[in-house]
Structure formats: structure tokens, C-alpha cells
Structure 1
């Protein structure tokens, strides 16, 4: 016999395969396959935390909203702030409390890795084959929590079980903060529970991808928040229709506009259930709608080479030599939600958008490898269905060397509107300042810098769309494109879309009038789809009359695949500015581009470094002026690849 190192943990299920060999599920978690010859084809490679050796060190602050945890043995601890939605270095652990496992009043013994734990001499009943893995005595010593392979169990001071909640993985660590418990599970998640009145109720779950530090935080209803560098594709909603029917799956990325609700998630963890209830009431039956998403299947595909288009199978892995684009045809099936636009993304950024009803599209490709992803939206553009995907390489062609391409900047600022009631003070100075900062910081990064600045009457609806069209004609894959917009941005009702108001906005009497004059997010996404620059950043500095929220701005990053850095202030905040020259957002950009943001050894500020600086800095600057303002920094890239946008002279 031969031992096969198939998994790090117990193997829960074996399945014989028709062609020979075995597939297996393990508690690592993950699955693997053994070949008919008895060799290991592949083993589970869980991307998340491994709490088996680190879970007992889990600690929380007294309100339970900040956690300190070690994701894997040998790594440094990290801190997750659930209210700020932020990962931080672990520090020295001050202010964090780990579980208390010893108490003279509650002497729980024989519990560690045992199936016969006791309270003194009183046996604590577990299921057959169920082993205890963690323990936390409640703060008032009126009970304790016992984490096992399959349950989180709540016992009173007499050893009677008050409640038990099934969990998706062994509870390797648990700690308490007031009436909140936090558990570190074998599936790599951290989960919050409340145990008011002797009943355990799950509040939220957190999954951190160990290597990339991408994370996603969600409630049992499916509302979620995610890391600035992505994470919305890591978790989703599964509809189990029973034995006889296929399941339906939608990642949070597909349901972003419906379920992305950071404020509601944070408040749920803090103990306020109302925002989550209100959001779910507004959404209606989201799960049922996921089951009705349209279906997108590949019909025809060919590779554009010179004047020809060579047929390409959908399972192709290589491109014909000289391919510049793909022409793709699809079959679409409406299952009750209507049909919206069809998007094609190349290397995680939008590259083409077909209008509703159109099922053919030509997609320009990048030099080197191309990962092509397709999406079809429902008619209301709230949910999208994933379509076929192609991963294509160019045989014999090496990876393209990094090219010091051009920096193309389109900066838009509107102070003086056709309707004077909309006038602002600092949008134009902000656009001018950001454009000049980018010009000055281009340094040796770019071989050329081109700035287009639209001020006031130049920034009409037609003027903005024409400038975006010129950028699309000009930009190539090796270029970097930065779009800065300063002016009024609002959230439309009842469909909750982002709408930028250009300079020629006059009629503000109703939504129909505003939509006709404004540039909505769908129009903006379609314009950005035509800009071929491999690297791009969207900088949105909008003010509003109380309607716009971070959810609408973040959705633009999710749908374009571009780095999005945005802030939304009230009209009063916009009129106040920060230093009588620029608003808070532009001031934070100025600081970051001049060297306050993280730099590499050559003094280069990256898009990622700038985004992280501005996201932290905007709330601080706003508080100095007695205002409340947040910034959002988001990307939807699966494989995060930052890029330099400025160089600081040293």
C-alpha cells in the first residue's frame, strides 16, 4: 500500500470518477483528485486562513468590532476593523482580549480536542464523533461558549445547553465581547454572533484571502462590503432548488448594485439591525431574481488578423499570430428579467459594451495574454449573468515588456452652471490643480503627457462625451488614462443610478429632465469601454444635495474594472473648501501626489498607494472643518496589478 498526502485535514467524502480515479472533499477546506494510477493529480489549496493552530489566539476589542487574528501559522497577526472596513497591522495587541478559558466558578475541563468535556463533574453532551475545539467563558460568568467540529454551543452556568448553532467548519477559536461572540472557523471565515436571551444569532461573516489580503464581509441576508483591492468575486449567493434541479449561483460581483451595502453591514455588526432590514425591504426578493437571470452562451467566435477573421473555438487556448481583436456572437435567453447591455472585459477591464438586444461585438485585444470575460445584464442593470470566458495566449510571443507609454488626462470641472442655483466655487480650481499635479508628477514614468481640461462652458454634455470619444481614439494599450470629474453628482430615484450633471444642466424640476440633461453611469461605462488604455484611474469628486452614497460610486469601479477613487460631499462642504483653494478630496490628492502617499524606492506613487492614502485622509481633513465626508477606493481586478502615476522629486 502507498500513502498519498491528499489533504491536511480529514477527508469527508470520496467519489469514484467514470474514467477512473477518485475525487475527494477535505476539511482543509477544498477538494482534490487522485488519478487511476494512484498518484495525486491535485490537492486542496484553500486560499483563506488556517485557524487550526492560530484560532485560540483570536482576540477582540470590548465592543467586538475590531478583531486581532493570525491567519496562518508563522505569520504576523493582523487587525480587522469592521466599522471602518479596514485591515491593519496587528500591533502589540493592546486593547484586545482573547477568550478566557479558566474560571473558579465555571471549571470547564477536558474540553480541548475532546468529545467528553465537563463542567466540573457534569458531562457536556456533544454529538457522536463531535469534538470540542475552543472555549470562551462569558464575561459575567453566567455561561460559556463551546466551539466544536460542527456547532457553536451556548451553555448556562449549570451546564445546561441553552442553544446550539450549526457551523460550516470546526470552531478553532472563539472569544466574547459583551453579548457578542466571534468565532474562527475551519472554512477560513471569522463570524460574529449575538447571544441575547440565550439564543445564538449569526450577524456577519468575514473571509480574508490569505495571500492577497482581499476580503469580503457579509450578513446572512447577503448584504456585503469588500476590500479596496477587491473581494466581491470571492463569495456569492447559492440557490439550492432541490435534488431534481440545478442550483443557481451569483457572486456578489454579479449582484453588486443590489447587495453592496457597507453601512448596513457595519451597523449590523455594531448591533443596529434597522439599516439592513430597510435595505432588504427596498430590494424585495433578490434570490428569486437571481434564479431568473438571463443566460448568455457563446455562438460564434473569430480572430481578426489583418483583413481576415479566422474561426476560433470557444475552448481555444491560443490566438493565431497577428490577432488584434475578437469578433464574438452570442445566444441570449431571457428568463423573465428582460435584457440589458452585454459587456466584454479584457484582463479585468471593460473593453466593449453592446446595447440591449445586440448579441455581436468586436473586442480589441492586448499584447500578450488575454483573459476575456463576458457579462449580460438584466434589463434594470442591477444584476448580471456571467457568460463564457476565454483565456488566450499568443504562441511564441514573449510577455510584453513594460512600456513607458503616455499619460492621458481628462480633467473636468464645473463651477458656473446654466442654472445658477447649481453654481459651485472650487470644482474648476480642483480640476486645474489635479491636472497640473499629474503633469508635474509625470517625471520619467511616461514618455509623453497630454492634458485635456474642460472648464465650465466647455464641460457641456456634448463636450464631455466628445472628449471621452477623443480619448478613445487616442489611447493605446500601453497608455495610462486618468479621468477627473468635479461637479454635481446625484443619485437618481427610484433606480439608484449615478448621474453627473454637466454645465448645460438647466431644468431641475424632475428626474426625467435631469436624466435627459445628465450623463448617467451606463453612458459613462460605455464611453470608458472604448478607451483601450491598459491602466486607468477614475477620480470622481462630486457634491450633492444629500442623495448620493458610496454604493453608487463603487458600482462604477465594479462594472469598469478600473481603479475608482471617489468622494461625495454635501453642497455646503463643497462651498466651504478645505484651504480656500481646493476641496477636501483635491487637497488629499495633492498631498498624496506630492509624496505623502506610499512610494517605491524610485519615488513613484502608484494608483494603489494614492488610493489608500486618499481613502484614509479625506475623513480626517473633513473632520478638521467640522464636516463628515468619506472617500471610496475600489477595484474589481481579480489579479491586482497596480501601476505608477506620479514621481516625486527627491
Structure 2
């Protein structure tokens, strides 16, 4: 799969992995990044006040509690809090390392550049607990770049350094040099074997060398790489890897001396840049590498890329798998393009099919995605244009005409957004064919408008709805006078009793009553009219009746607010999220598709509500077989509920707050309610009004819920509960603080 970065992203030059394989540090020239491999996300970017052309050195402590960063002012950090603990020295550290027992810290500095400044290379060890300098390794006057690379022996007794024309073995306790090996050029990378018997070196003469560690006599040479920037042993000592400026990682069989694997995929690496830096994971099954703007993980046995991680200059990020599934920050997927059928598309256009953080986690944990569809197999989306549509109008509705041209992938759903919120979803394909060109269709939609400027966006999907088109945008100024304040309409649902008695809940109805009452009180003076419709009886909360009530909301106006709240069961099955209604008896997949409300149906109904300000709140429990289904989904490539909510939020242009709790937590409750709804109500009453403006906005409510729910859950249930918060569309006040 071909990718291209569309936003500034720093070239990554240094990398390290924590001893448990969970965390990765990647260093660029003026910053470094901490990644969580287990959760498949970027944790934090750390900026340095200085510029390191070699890249900021990074290293984890052996116990995994701390990490260190080079650059000007070598720093020690606490991993749990990500706070700086101390600064060891102000020299620019090009290479850093912890002793195997974690008690000491070693760094090497080439000294200031350029060469005419007569740099004074330094290499020092410090007490990692106190920061006290222990040894200053003294050297004779040397040319620049004396210390390119350093490494501790596994027993901590020796230090190995690589520099200009030589490699030196040092006594770690005294700082005295023991032995020197001469080479041509500069040694840029050194490493000890796991048993301490051998060392590796690599540098500018394009050769990887295996040496006897005791006397530094040459054992074997590995030729066939361009200028080398990193070397490493596999944990079992059978293999060595090297990374060079040709953009490749080569894995060598140490016994035979032959090349075993080549890992190719980094681009933009040349002699003008630094080469590839790479290391084995602690289990030896994977390799991590950096060298262009990406940090990549490789499967050693297959030689295939598992995932690529990119952090952008503005803080956004994206992780992609080899077949195109991805996890990202809110805007990260806008910055990476992919080629489909020879044409370039934004990753964002694939969001509703390929935004799958759960599958990224599966790939990173060793699972296979080979049987799933690939981005390369996706057919191109159609091309959409808004035609024959006025730019100004003096009434409250307008005819929006679209021309949709098939680009080879057919034509699927068509969606219209008004001021960022979906207000029309057409999945009927009931369109008029243009006689002159059978690849084109046209359709005219009647949209209600807001007074003033209306920004309309139209998108269309390919036939199987796996990829959407680039949005066509049109602006209409409507010069009619708005009458009165907007109104708020809410559909509030709580379901305690189900056809299947095993699904019974204790607090769903009480939660819905609390939310309805709190919303009514907070919104009553803010809107022209507040209409809250509650559904709680078994007759009112069937699939059929809830769908009927949602369809009734299609009469709303663009300036109105729509709030949807439900407390019930929810599950993910066969790759789709289902809201469990009172009529559900069997939770088998085929019955859920007919008896529950599936994500696709829910998305279509919400998208066809004309209100441009929407808030969706879903408080669901996963009990018994349903709870197991969530776990199975995570292990067998099904979509997680968190993923489903985030996809839905972006698709309909609405903010979604959701929580999924276990049966035990749902039955125990808190203060007579479910914890999530209790916190939600407290936020609406005024605790979410951080700015003390007297109003609670949707974004403030989201922040309050996001911060308060995990804290209280940990305190009450001794178990963290993390709500899903996905903000899309417009931000608006939802209530007035009394």
C-alpha cells in the first residue's frame, strides 16, 4: 500500500523499546515521542529546546520505570507521570544507555559542531538515582565525532564505544581503556551480544563486523549494506540486524554469515539524511525501526510490516497496519494519503470502513489481519459536484442538486451536511440517470436552512460504502428572518425489562428519569420550547416504536437542538454495534439484526434529522453473553463499541458521549443510578461549567464526564471505567446553570 504524508512530520532518527515491549520512544532532531504499543496510540510529544542533527537519543531504564533523553541537557524522566526528574549534563548527548542493573547512566557527546570549533568529545557515567557524575572517560586529543555510539556489556563491567577509525573497550568501574580495534571510517553503531561474548559494529565503510568481546579480534564480516547507522543482536543471539542509509534493515544469520531477511519500506532515506535505526523487540519476534517520518514495526519471521506510526508537527498522529486499518487522533487521518487504483485519496475518506483501533491493537499484539479486506482492494469513490443551486435565497429552504459521477467503484450512499452536521442520508439510490452519460446521476434534495450563511457539504460513497468521495462544498445565504429562539427536542429512553428476563437492569429507567428531569430544568429558560419525550415501558421501548419516534424528529428545523439519550444494553456482533431494545429475546447474531437497532439503521435515522446541533448519549451495559461478545469482538476482529461510537460521531456530525459498563457495576449502581448518568446529571447541573459563564456547553460536559467518570469508578468499583467521548459538529449550550 502506497502512502504519502500531507503534513509536516519530523524525521525520526533514534528509537528504543521498554523491557516489557509495551512502550516505544522515538527521537527526532528537536523532540521525542512516547508511544503505547499495547493501546495503539501516541501518549505524548516531548519538545527539546535544542536541535540535534543526529537525533535526540532515547533509552528506557531496565526496570521500565524511567526513560532518558539526549540532546542538550540529558534528562531523566518518570514513565508513570512523564515528569522530568533531573538533568545529568548540558552536553549534547548523541548516544545514551543505562547499565543492566539500572544504577548507572552513560552518555556520549561529540561536542559542539562544526569541526572548526575544536569539539571536545566526552563520555560520562552518572548515578541514575542522584545524578552524581561517577566517571569521565578521558581521551587523547581526537578528531570530531570520537563518540558516535556506546553500549554496556550484559554484566555491566564494560563499556564499548565507537568513533572515528576505532572501537574502544573500557572498564566501566575505572574508566580506563582496555583494548582498541582499528577500522576504516567512522563506527556509528555498537552492540554486545546477550551472553557478552561478542560485539557488533557498523559504520561508514558499509560493513557489519562481529568481534570477540574479550580481545576485540575480528570473527566475521557481513557485506552488502550501505553506510550503517544501527546494529543489534536478537535476544537469542542467533541473528544480527543492521540499518543503513539505503532505507533497509538487514537481518543476518550469525552462524552462516549470510543475509537471512531484508525489511524494506522506509522511504526518503538517502546519503543526505541519517540511516535506519532499528532494534529487536524483547521477545525477538518483531523489529522496530525509524529513519524517515515513520516508526515501523516488522514481523521477523515473515519480513512483513505490521504497523507504521507517524507523529505530525502539530501533535496529531496516525498508526496504520499494512492492509490499511488505522487508529488516529481526531485529525491524524487527514494528513496521510493512500493510493487506490492509481489515484491518491485521503485516509479520512476510508474512515467508516478502515478506522479500526481495535484491529490496530490486534495487529500490534500479534494477531493476523490477512483474511480481512485491504485498502488496495477498495474501489474508488464517485466524484460529487453541487450544480444548479443558488448562492442566495430569501426563504427557509432550498433545492440542492447533485451530480454524482461513477469513477469505477459504483455509487452508494449520498450524504448531505449542513453547517457540519448530517441532515440527509440517501441510501435508496433512487436517482435520475442522465441520458448523455450513464456513469452520471443527478438528484435534487430539499433542505431546510438557517437564517444567514449555510455551509452545505455533499459526499457520496462507492457501491459497497467502503470509501467516500471528497466533499463538494457550497455556500447559501438565506435572507429570511428567524422567528424566536430555537427549541430543544429530546428523546430519552430507559429500558429495565426485556423479553429475555436475563437482561433485566435495575437503574436504566431511573437514569433516564434523572437525565430527562435535569435536562428539562437546565434548558427551560434557554430555549423557546423544551420538549422531552420519555420512553420506559416495554411497549414504548421496542425496536419498532423507537424507530417511529426517531423518524418523527425529521420535522425539526436546522436551528433546533436534538438530544438522544438511552440507558440499555449494547453489544457489538458481526462487526456492527447493536442497541438492545425491550423486544429482544435471543442475542444470536441473526436475531439481533432483525430485533435490535443496528448501527447502520441508527446512523441513517440520526443523519436525516434536520437539526444541525445534536447530542447523542448512550449508557449501555454488557451483561452475560453480551459482555462476552465485546471481549470476543476484541479478539476476533470484531469492532469495539468505542470504535463504533467514534465512527458514528464523525459520520453524523454530532457529539457522542457513551459508556459501556459491566453487569456488576450496572447492578450495583451509585447513589441509586448508573455512575455514568449520575456524573452526566451533575455536570448538567453546573459542575461542568468550568468557565463559570452560567451555561453548560456540550464540550464542557464532555470534558467533565471524561475526567470524572474514571476517577469515581476507580474509587467506587476499584476499577477504571473510561467513557467514549467523540466531539464532532457544532458546540452549543445545552443548559443554563441555576
Return closer, same or farther for 1:203/1:592 CA change in 2, 3 Å cut-off.
farther
* TM-superposed deviation, 1:633: 2.9
- Deviation, 1:102, is 1.0
Residue in 2 aligned with 1:238? 339
For 1:347-391, what per-residue CA distance to the aligned partner results, in whole angstroms no more than 9, with x for missing partners? Answer: 443221113222324144554362513122535x5x134166124
* Aligned partners of 1:106 and 1:119 also within 8 Å: no
Q: Distance in 2 between matches of 1:644 and 1:175?
A: 50
Contact 2:8 2:312 survives alignment (8 Å): yes
Distance 1:181 1:511 in 2: 39
Taking only aligned residues, the RMSD between alpha carbons, in angstroms, comes to: 4.6
Alignment CA distance shift 1:95-1:501 (3 Å): same
1:148 matches 2:245? yes
8 Å CA contact 2:621–2:666 kept in 1: the answer is: no
Q: What is the DSSP-based 3-state SS (H/G/I as helix, E as strand, rest coil) of the residue aligned with 1:458?
A: coil
Structure 2 counterparts to residues 154-553 of structure 1, below 5 A: 163-166=261-264, 167-170=266-269, 174=277, 176=279, 178=282, 179=284, 181-186=287-292, 188-193=293-298, 195=300, 201-211=304-314, 213-227=315-329, 229-235=330-336, 237-239=338-340, 247-248=342-343, 252-256=347-351, 258-269=353-364, 272-274=365-367, 276-277=368-369, 280-281=370-371, 283=372, 285-287=373-375, 289-291=377-379, 295=382, 297-298=384-385, 301-303=387-389, 310=390, 319-322=391-394, 324-331=397-404, 333=406, 340-359=412-431, 360-362=443-445, 363-365=447-449, 367-368=452-453, 370-379=455-464, 381=465, 383-386=466-469, 389-392=472-475, 394=477, 407-417=488-498, 420-439=501-520, 449-456=530-537, 457-477=539-559, 479-493=560-574, 496-503=575-582, 505=583, 508=586, 514-544=592-622, 545-546=626-627, 547-548=629-630, 549-550=640-641, 551-553=643-645
Higher strand proportion (structure 1 or 2):
2
Shift of 1:81: 2.6
Do the aligned partners of 1:599 and 1:606 also contact (CA within 8 Å) in 2? no
Which residues in structure 2 correspond to 1:609-620 (within 5 Å)? 610-611=701-702, 614=705
Gaps of 5+ in 2: 48-59, 70-95, 98-148, 152-158, 165-185, 190-202, 210-217, 432-442, 631-639
- Pair 459,473 (structure 1): closer, same or farther in 2 beyond 3 Å: same
Offset of 1:125 from its aligned partner?
Answer: 5.9
For 2:298 and 2:403, locate their aligned partners in 1 and report how far apart those are by CA, in whole Å: 45
Q: For the structure 1 residues 375 and 69, does the alpha-carbon distance in structure 2 shift closer, same or farther, using more than 3 Å as the test? A: same
Provide the secondary structure at the position in 2 that maps to 1:508: coil
TM-score normalised over the length of structure 2: 0.62
Q: Note the C-alpha offset of 1:208.
A: 3.1
Partner of residue 562, structure 1: 654
- Post-superposition CA distance 1:84-108 (Å, at most 9, x none): 3554455899622566531344736
SS state of the match for residue 435, structure 1? helix
Work out whether residues 275 and 291 of structure 2, in 8 Å CA contact, stay in contact via their aligned partners in 1: yes
In 2, Cα distance between equivalents of 1:597 and 1:117: 61
Q: Is the 8 Å Cα contact of residues 645 and 726 (structure 2) preserved in structure 1? A: no
What SS does the aligned partner of 2:324 have?
coil
Cα displacement (A) at 1:205:
1.4
Partner of 2:9: 49
> Is 1:632 aligned with 2:733?
no
Higher Cα Rg: structure 1 or 2?
Answer: 2
CA contact (8 A) 2:457 2:473 kept: yes
* Equivalences, count: 550
CA contact (8 A) 1:413 1:454 kept: yes
Cα 1:520–1:224 change in 2 (3 A) is same
Cα drift, residue 328 of structure 1: 1.9
Unaligned runs of 5+ in 1: 1-26, 31-45, 240-245, 304-309, 311-318
Distance between the aligned counterparts of 1:139 and 1:290, measured in 2? Answer: 38
1:65 corresponds in structure 2 to 22
Shift of 1:470: 4.5
Displacement of 1:409: 3.3
For 1:408 and 1:70, locate their aligned partners in 2 and report how far apart those are by CA, in whole Å.
51
The answer to whether the Cα contact below 8 Å between 1:326 and 1:364 also exists between their aligned partners in 2 is: no
- Find the aligned partners of 1:140 and 1:508 in 2 and give their Cα distance: 50
Distance in 2 (alpha carbons) for counterparts of 1:111 and 1:207:
29
Deviation at 1:488, TM superposition (A): 2.7
Question: Structure 1 length as normaliser, TM-score?
Answer: 0.69
Task: Name the SS for the 2:430 alignment partner.
Answer: coil
SS in structure 2 opposite 1:107? strand
